[in-house]
A and B are shown apart, each in its own frame.
Chain A
Amino acid sequence: MAETLLVVRGLAKSFGALRATDGIDFEVREGETHAVIGPNGAGKTTFIKQLSGELRPDAGQVRFAGEDITALPAHRRSRKGLARSFQITSIYRDFSALDNVALAVQARAGHSFRFWRPAREDILLTQPARQALEKVGLGARADVLAANLAHGEQRQLEIALALATQPRLMLLDEPVAGMGSDESQRMIELLASLKGEKTVVLVEHDMDAVFSLADRISVLVYGRIIATGTPAEIRANAEVRAAYLGEDL
């Protein structure tokens, strides 16, 4: 069996009286696409933020590649190979698409205390950046200002940013959210192309996307994981059906 890349134990985070994540145990195997589903407000984004380091958990532990990273801030986790895309698109809007991705390449290339050579003429940055843009289907849009990209393209750019840091684990928070059907189809194809190359934690509402992409699915309800299993197992799970009453699994 594949090695376990991420191990989460007892992760808890409260906002006042609200237990947004309430003792989550969770594992991600090297190479798998592990979907996390659950109703709105279940705590999925809060969970992802504790994995990426944006939020400090109240209790619990996060181990990544055998190392306890619970106390590390976001930028240190990123350097260790954890990349994240945001539910609400987060890109450098006043940079070109290429500059966006080149910056992520630069983050991977070590420190940036280099003051003289123009970064935009640095082939060590621009070439991998162009490759990442090609990969997500934005090859022809490299010089467009990120703010002027269509919504779907901005979501693709967000994936390119994560890819360009050469992560071992990608945390994708609703990459298909708010897309038209053509756009979401393209995004699903892109995510499918990552399968086997990247380990992915995929938070998603779009059930077509989830059931076609995921190797395993965890169901998060009221801050707790109520079931983990293959898509077939999850479909058959009575508790999950109850939580999704009315929704078509």
Chain B
Amino acid sequence: MLTLLPPVAAALQEPFYLDLVRKVMIFAIAAASLNLILGYGGMVSFGHAAYLGIGGYAVGVLAFYGTTSGWVQWGVAIGASALVALAIGAVSIRTSGIYFIMITLAFTQMLYYLGISIEEYGGDDGMRIKARSDFSGLIDLGDPVAFYYLALVLMLACLFLVHRIANSRFGMVLRAAKSNEPRSRGIGFSPYAYRLVAFVIAGAMCGLAGAMFANHTSFITPEFMHWTRSGEIMFMVILGGIATTAGPLLGALVLLVVETLLAGWTEHWQAILGPLLVLSVLFFRRGLAGLMPGGKDG
């Protein structure tokens, strides 16, 4: 279905839909990465937008200094996100519950204020990115259709990757530690290292989404890392269905479409969206994926 959208949108002369769905797919990647640690690992990270920001700034800042190679930009986006996730994870995973939520949030707020304070990169106004990432002429991200298909391929790859990881030996240890940590210790697993590796993988994957998002908007701003952004990604995961393969895509799709519709209808859309989200969580406990046949995979 998603494969067919570009020709249909072209025929209808509605490039807007292409743009919206591309954004949906980029956020599906971010949500899928959070689903790995939140859904399967039980780590309620309330700072996942940090990696969206790091990925975005990697692209923007390198472009600012004249490095437009997508290989370099996206590589740095993923690598830097992984490193930051390693540092944040190493500290926060020693805690649990509300402390874990607060620490991940605090780290992301630090990065947010760092983004605001660096005037060179536009401070809180953000910064335009003059050229999109350049992949040796292989893919032209300036072409909306080419970018759309790249996003589609990368999103499917990320959803599949998370699915494989979640069902691998590694994933089973991660899920077991969420289910019953004392039991895991009792049979010989110390969850820390497994959780940390999952946290790094999730950070790296969300860094990729950040690099894509910067190209999508041609703009970077500290807003990428705002805590409401982290909350949005978390809602996508919960709404779509925690610990499900397709949930992150469904959650991103519904949340962003509803957001767009409400925003076109009234200025006070956020006041309506909040209660809607609460209701949706109350009514579909297992998320949208739970409503679909075969959607509640383990």
Contact = CB atoms under 8 A, between A and B. Distances in A.
Interface in A106-143: 106-108, 112-120, 122, 125
B274 interface: no
A114 B183 contact: no
Interface in B82-108: none
B170 A115 contact: yes
B168 A91 contact: no
Contacts of A112: 169-170, 172-173, 189, 194
B136 interface: no
Contact of B167 (A83, A107, A113, A119): A119
Contacts of B279: none
B203 to A, nearest CB: 16
A78 B184 CA distance: 10
A161 interface: yes
B185 to A, nearest CB: 4
B180 A75 contact: no
Contact of A93 (B173, B179, B184): B179
Contacts, number: 96
Interface in B128-175: 164-165, 167-173, 175
A79, A90, A104, A120 — which one has the most chain B CB atoms within 10 A of its CB? A104
A108 B169 CA distance: 12
Nearest to B173: A112
Interface residues of A, number: 38
B33 to A, nearest CB: 14
Interface string A137-159: 00000000000000000000000
A68 interface: no
A75 B165 contact: no
B169 A114 contact: yes
A86 interface: yes
Nearest to A120: B167
A99 interface: yes
Contacts of A41: none
Contacts of A78: 185-188
A152 to B, nearest CB: 19
B176 interface: yes
A103 B190 contact: no
A222 interface: no
A115 B165 contact: yes
B180 A74 contact: no
A52 interface: yes
B290 to A, nearest CB: 14
Contacts of A113: 170, 194, 197
Given A75-B190, A106-B169, A108-B188, A116 B183 contact: no
Residue among B173, B175, B188, B194 with max Cβ neighbours from chain A (10 Å): B188
B178 to A, nearest CB: 9
Interface in A75-103: 75, 78-79, 83-84, 86, 90-95, 99, 102-103
B169 A92 contact: no
Contacts of A118: 164, 167-168
B179 A117 contact: no
Interface in A151-180: 161-162, 164-165
B7 interface: no
Nearest to B164: A116
Contacts of A165: 187-188
Given A92-B180, A119-B167, A119-B169, A73 B186 contact: no
B168 A119 contact: yes
A187 to B, nearest CB: 19
Interface of B: 164-165, 167-173, 175-176, 179-180, 182-190, 194, 197
Given A103-B173, A107-B189, A162-B187, 19 more contacts: A52-B186, A75-B184, A75-B185, A75-B188, A78-B188, A79-B188, A84-B186, A86-B182, A86-B186, A99-B172, A102-B172, A103-B184, A106-B169, A112-B173, A113-B194, A115-B164, A119-B171, A161-B183, A165-B188
